[in-house]
Amino acid sequence: MSNSIEKYKDYMESAFDLWVLDEEWEEFFGRKPLLRYHSMKYCWDYVISKNLKRIVELGTSRSFVDGAYEGCNTNDTRYWQPTNPKVWDWSAGCFTRVIGECIQGTDMTLDTLDMAQAHIFRSHYMTKDLEGIRYAVGMSEDFLNSCEEKIDFLYLDTGDVTPVDFTAELHLREAKIIIEKDLMSRDGIILEMWLVKNKTRTFQIMERQNCQYHSLKKTDGK
């Protein structure tokens, strides 16, 4: 089992340095908030402690490089630099690659789904050296409605930053399906990204499930 969360800690911690000044963190939060590394570590430590197996990612890794570099969000495989993680799309998390590395040599599985064929193509290309990952193109609601196995660790990252209303409503519909179909395992955990408009309502729905819930928002919000 690889400890890739620690391996890539510095990249996750500095992911927004190109986009947000220290003064801006101070202005909006009073300090620099905890970033993605802390949420990822919290969830992964929990997964290990509970011996969880099935991981599902709704909304796959979609870019070979961060938006600061040429080649962002293109299908041109020349831009994927597997030995140069500095340019990877850390502001988006690189969940597929990081968790994909973490499950190597284990009996854990990762299902990653996206509505865009191009995104799945890129995700698969970035993780083609890894085992235990299954890729699917489709709508998250359809996937959840057809899901027959319990989910242990769910990363909910569908939609885009804008329009906010569309993504928030989508996450709310996904949450309803999860609770109505009782999809999470008894000790399951959910990591959710981009909660905005319906955060309170979605959280209330998730509380009905006997599972942990951790909201990342855009910068973890702590």
Question: Taking every pair of C-alpha atoms in the chain, what is the biggest distance, in angstroms?
Answer: 48
Residues 171, 165: Cα–Cα separation, whole Å: 10
pLDDT at residue 86, as a whole number? 96
Residue 132 is encoded by which pair of tokens? 């235990």
CA angle 45, 48, 50 (to 5 degrees): 110
Which of 45, 40, 47 lies closest to 11 in space, CA to CA?
40
CATH assignment, 4-215 = 3.40.50.150
Residue 102 is encoded by which pair of tokens? 């973490």
Quote the pTM value: 0.86
Task: For residue 29, give the DSSP letter.
Answer: H
* Domain range annotation of the chain: 4-215
> Tens digit of pLDDT per residue, the chain (222 long)?
668 999 999 999 999 888 888 899 899 889 888 888 999 999 999 999 999 999 999 999 999 999 999 999 999 999 999 999 999 999 888 999 999 999 999 999 999 999 999 999 999 999 999 999 999 999 999 999 999 999 999 999 887 766 777 888 888 899 999 999 999 999 999 998 754 444 444 444 444 444 555 544 443 333
